[in-house]
A and B are shown apart, each in its own frame.
Chain A
Amino acid sequence: MSNKVVQAMYNDDDILMDAVKEVRAANYHIEEVYTPFPVHGLDKAMGLKGTRIAITAFMYGCVGLVFSVWMMNYMMIEQWPQDIGGKPSFAFIQNMPAFVPIMFEMTVFFAAHLMVITFYMRSRLWPFKEAENPDPRTTDDMFVMEVIVDGNEDELIAFLEKTGTVEIKVTEKH
C-alpha cells in the first residue's frame, strides 16, 4: 500500500472546520491538520481524545509535596534538630507551619516543570528538531488538512475540491 496523502489547503478556519466535519462524515481518515493558530473546537471536530496532561501534573505535584515533606523532615527534624530561634524541632508537625511555604513551592515547581517536560516529550519537541511542516504557509495564513489516500484517489480529490479548498497537493508521506 502506498503512503500517499492528499494535502488540501484552506485559507479560513471556518471553512476548515466545515471541511473537517464533512471529511469525517464521509469516513475518510484525516492524518493531520496544520494550522497557524489554535482553532477552537478543532480537536472535537476531529474526534481527538482529551489530553491527560492535567492528571500527570496532579501526580507530579503530589511527588513534589512528598519530596518536600521528606526533605524538611530529614534535614530539620531527624538529621540535626537544632534549636533555631526557639522553633520546636521535636516533631515534624510541631514545626510544620514554617515548612509550608517550601512545601507549597515544591509542589508547584514539580507540577509545572515536569508537566512541561512531559508535554515536550509527548509532542516530540526539542532544540534542533527538524520541523515537520508540509508547507511554510501553514505558519502564516494557510490551513492544511492531510487525508490518507485509501482506495480511489480521484474520488477523494473530487470530494475535497467541493469542501472549499484553495489548493490540493498529492504527495508521498515521508
Chain B
Amino acid sequence: MYTFSSKLKTLSLALMIIGLLGVGYGFLSAPASVDEVKVLLQESHNTHGEVATPAGHAAAESGVAVQAEDAHAEHIFHLLKNKPWSALYVALFFFFMISLGTLAFYAIQHVSQAGWSIVLFRVMEAITAYLPVGGVLLFVFFVLSATHMNHLFVWMDPEVVANDALIQNKSGYLNVPFFLIRAAIYIIVWVLYRNYARKMTIAQDALTDLSNYRKLFKSSAAFLVFFLVTESMMSWDWIMSLDPHWYSTLFGWYVFSSLIVSAITTIALVSIYLKGKGYLEFVNNSHLHDLAKFMFGFSIFWAYLWFSQFMLIWYANIPEEVTYFVTRFNDYKVPFLGMVVLNFVFPLLILMNSDFKRVPWFIVTAGIIVLIGHYIDIFVMIMPATVGDQWFIGISEISSILLVLGIFIYVVFNAMTKAPLLAKGSPFIKESEHFHY
C-alpha cells in the first residue's frame, strides 16, 4: 500500500497555490479596454524607437487610417484578453490528454493480453484518476467559453458567424449546444470506462475465478472502439475548431500520437519515482526498458504524423490550407521547429541505445524533455488561433502549468493510496513479475 508522503502533498499544494496566484495575476494584468491597448502599442513603439508605419502617421488625419488603427488595437486587445485563457486551456488539455492517453494505453494492455505490463496497472489506474477531475475542469472551461467569458472559439460568437459564410456552413456541427453535448458524452463515457476498469481489477484481486477479467477484456475492447472515434472528434472539437477555416484529415491521429507518447512517458516517470521510493520492488529494469521502447517508438510515430501533415500541406501549398503553417512559421518559428528537436531528434538519439533504456536517470531526462516538447506541441496547436503573434511563455503560461500540475500530482498520488500497488488478480501476474528482456 502506498502512503502519500507529506512532502509530495505539500509540493502539490504549493504548486496549486503558486499557480493560482500566477493565473490570477495573468487575468488581472490582461488589458481591460481597447484604450489601454492603444497606450501599450504606443509605448512599445516608443521603447523600440520606431515610428509607427509612416503611412499611418502621415494620413493620421484621414478617418480611414484612424479606423484602421482602431481596428488593429481592438484585434490586439482580443488577443491579449485571450492570453491567460489560452494558457489555462493549454495546461488543462495537456494534463487531461496525459490521463486520457494512459487510459487508452491501459485498455490496449488489457485487450492485447500483454504479459509484461500487469505490474504497472495500478500506476496507470492512478494516473487515469485525473480523468474525471480534468474532465470536469475542461467542461467548465467550455461552458465559460460558450457563455462568452472568453473568445477562444470564434465560431461561438454569433457576431462572427453572421459575417462568415464558411463558419455558417459548418454550423450544423459547430454550434454551442451540440459542442457541449458531444464534450459531455466523450468525457462521461471515458470516465465510466475508467471507473469500471478500476472497480473490476480491484475486485479481481480477491477473486479466484476470472469472470471480472473476461468482463474487463470485453469492455476494454468496446472502449477502444469508442475511444478511437471520439478521440478524433475530440481533436476536431477542442483543437481544430479553434481555426474554424482550416481542416486536416490526419489531425485526430496527430493529436493521438502526442497524447499516447506523453502518457507513456508519464507512466515511466511515475513508476521510476515510486520504484525509487521502494514501492514497486516487482518492477524491474526490463519493464522500464519496455516503456522506454514505447516512448522511443511513439516519438518517431509522432514525428511521422507531424511531418506527414506538414509536408503534404507544404508541398501542395493550397492557400486555404497553408495559412495554418504560414502563421506558425512566421510567428512561432522557435517553438514550432524546436519541438521537432525535443520530440523527435532528442529521443531518437538518446533512446536508441538498448543499454540507455534501462538506466532510470536516462529515461527521466528523456521523459522530461519529451513532456516539455509535447506541451509545446499543444501550445503551437492552440495559441496561434487564439493569441496570434502576442504569444509568450510567461507568468500566465507557467503558472497555469504549475496549477494543473499541482492538481494532477495531488489527484494521482492520492488515488495511488487507495489500492495495493500490485494488481494480483490478473491471470498474467506471474509472467509480468518474472518478465525480463
A residues near B (Cβ < 8 Å) are 54, 58, 86, 97-98, 100
Contact residues of A: prevailing secondary structure = helix
Collect the chain B residues with CB atoms within 8 Å of residue A100's CB. 307, 311
Give the shortest distance, in Å, between B326 (CB) and chain A (any CB): 14
Interface string of B339-354 (1 = CB under 8 A from A): 0000000000000101
Residues of B at under 8 Å CB distance from A? 307, 310-311, 314-315, 317, 352, 354
- Nearest-Cβ distance from residue B406 to partner chain A, whole angstroms: 40
* Cβ contacts under 8 Å, A58 to chain B: 352
The 4 closest A-B pairs by CB, nearest first: A97-B311, A97-B314, A98-B315, A100-B307
A-B contact sample (9 more), CB < 8 A, given A54-B354, A98-B311, A100-B307? A58-B352, A86-B317, A97-B307, A97-B310, A97-B311, A97-B314, A97-B315, A98-B315, A100-B311
- Please list 12 pairs of residues, one from A and one from B, whose beta carbons are closer than 8 Å in the complex, sorted by A's number: A54-B354, A58-B352, A86-B317, A97-B307, A97-B310, A97-B311, A97-B314, A97-B315, A98-B311, A98-B315, A100-B307, A100-B311
Complex CA distance for A54 and B357, rounded to whole angstroms: 15
Chain A residue at minimum C-beta to C-beta distance from B349: A58
**A-B contact count, CB below 8 Å?**
12
Chain B CB within 10 Å — which of A58, A86, A97, A98 has the most?
A97
Output the least CB separation between B381 and chain A (Å).
19
**Bound Cα distance from A86 to B322, whole angstroms:** 15
Contacting residues, chain A, for B352 (C-beta < 8 A): 58
Kindly list chain A residues whose C-beta atoms are within 8 Å of the C-beta of B354: 54
Chain A minimum-CB-distance residue to B310: A97
> Which A residues lie within 8 Å of B311 (CB)?
97-98, 100
Minimum distance in angstroms from B353 CB to a CB of chain A? 9
From residue B240, how far is it (CB to closest CB) to chain A in Å?
22
List residues of chain B with CB within 8 A of the CB of A97.
Answer: 307, 310-311, 314-315
Residues of A within 8 A of B317 (CB): 86
Contacts of A86 in B (CB 8 A): 317
Q: How far is the CB of A76 from chain B (nearest CB, A)?
A: 14
Q: Whole-angstrom distance from the CB of A158 to the nearest CB of chain B?
A: 36
A86-B354 Cα distance, complex, nearest whole Å: 44
Closest A residue, CB atoms, query B311: A97
Closest beta carbon of chain A to B229's beta carbon, Å: 30
Bound Cα distance A54, B353 (Å): 9
Which residue from chain B places its CB closest to the CB of A55 in the assembled complex? B353
